[in-house]
């Protein structure tokens, strides 16, 4: 057997497998072929193929077609290994094993956004790093951190590397706000995507590579009441609004 391409694109690329006789035969020759588990590409997931090649009576050749299946998964190039499994009306001889490669054409772009801002003494903030296409391996994402808020004083220090887990869409970077009980102006934490450890996972250009979480320093308000039950005849319930600090 022989092939038309040793590599072909994921976007419906094809590889023609040809079975050849040394001389014509009076009956159809059937060549049964199959994908070897040694290949990294999966039948019906990464490609389709015919399982038999028919060489018509009186002819020297017959063909089957491998066709790549287009997907949106970012992955490495994958190999297909084809073997001759059996032959009817002829004797297997010569090259009975072929390998070809599907060239993946997907590239992911990573972006960052503000999930929510932080409020001192109330709640933490968070960033969300997300990809436009899923990736079939873990990707290390490197970031830089700056802003007017002080790490270790206004918020817990943020690592500069994170892992986007394989086959997921996003990861959350928490901003753990520290309550210093000091009245001050609102402050910012700025996270910028710097690089990844995978060439097929790119960083979006500005401004989508940077996001800001604001840590609001304003005091928060709680409400309380003097009673939960009071009489209809002039009864009163006093509602009190209280600041967390001055």
Residue 183 has pLDDT above 70, yes or no: no
- The pTM of this model reads 0.78
Q: What is the pLDDT of residues 90-149, one digit of tens each?
A: 999 988 999 999 999 999 999 999 999 998 888 999 999 999 999 999 999 999 999 999
Long-range contacts of 240-244 (CB under 8 A, 24+ apart): 243/219, 244/121, 244/219, 244/220
How many of the other CB atoms lie within 10 Å of CB of 68? 24
Average pLDDT over residues 175-184: 80
Q: Is the pLDDT of residue 5 over 90?
A: yes
How confident is the model at residue 243, as a pLDDT? 82
Two structure tokens written together for 181: 């009980």
205-243 pLDDT, tens per residue?
999 999 999 998 877 788 999 999 999 888 999 999 998
Q: Taking Cα atoms as reference points, which of 41, 24, 121, 111 lies closest to residue 76? A: 41
Could you tell me the pLDDT band of residue 181, with boundaries at 50, 70 and 90?
low
- Calculate the average pLDDT of the chain: 94
The mean per-residue pLDDT over the stretch 1-12 comes to 94
- Note the helical H segments in the chain: none
The answer to whether residue 182 scores a pLDDT higher than 70 is no
Q: What CA–CA distance (Å, rounded) separates 47 from 65?
A: 10
Backbone phi and psi for residue 141, each to the nearest 5 degrees, phi listed first: -110, 125
Cα 166 versus chain centre, distance: 6
Please give the Cα distance from 151 to 117 (Å, whole number).
16
Assess contact for 48 and 14: CB atoms under 8 A. no
Do residues 17 and 6 touch, judged by C-beta distance below 8 A?
Answer: no
- Taking a C-beta distance cutoff of 8 angstroms, is the pair 89, 19 a contact? no
- pLDDT, tens only, 38-50: 899 999 999 999 9
Residue 121 confidence (pLDDT): 80
Residues with Cβ within 8 Å of 36's Cβ and at least 6 positions away in sequence, in order, are: 81, 82, 83, 97
pLDDT score for 221:
82
């Amino acid at each position: 057997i022989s092939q038309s391409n040793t590599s072909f694109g994921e976007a419906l690329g094809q590889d023609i497998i040809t079975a050849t006789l040394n001389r014509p035969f009076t009956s159809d020759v059937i060549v049964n072929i199959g994908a070897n588990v040694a290949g990294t590409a999966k039948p019906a997931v990464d490609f389709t193929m015919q399982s038999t090649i028919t060489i018509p009576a009186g002819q020297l050749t017959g063909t089957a077609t491998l066709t790549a299946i287009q997907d949106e998964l970012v992955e490495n190039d994958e190999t297909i290994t084809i073997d001759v499994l059996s032959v009817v009306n002829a004797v297997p001889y010569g090259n009975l094993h072929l390998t070809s490669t599907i060239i993946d054409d997907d590239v992911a772009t990573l972006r960052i956004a503000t999930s929510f801002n932080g409020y001192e003494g109330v709640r933490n903030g968070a960033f969300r790093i997300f990809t436009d296409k899923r990736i079939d391996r873990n990707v290390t994402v490197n970031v830089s951190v700056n802003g007017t808020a002080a790490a270790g004083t206004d918020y817990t220090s943020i690592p500069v590397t994170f892992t986007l887990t394989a086959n997921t869409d996003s990861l959350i970077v928490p901003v753990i706000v520290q309550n210093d009980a000091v009245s001050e102006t609102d402050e910012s934490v700025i996270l910028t995507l710097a690089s990844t450890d995978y060439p097929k996972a790119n960083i979006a250009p500005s401004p989508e590579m940077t996001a800001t979480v604001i840590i609001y320093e304003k005091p928060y308000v709680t409400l309380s009441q003097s009673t939960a039950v009071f009489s209809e005849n002039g009864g009163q319930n006093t509602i009190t609004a209280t600041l967390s600090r001055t």
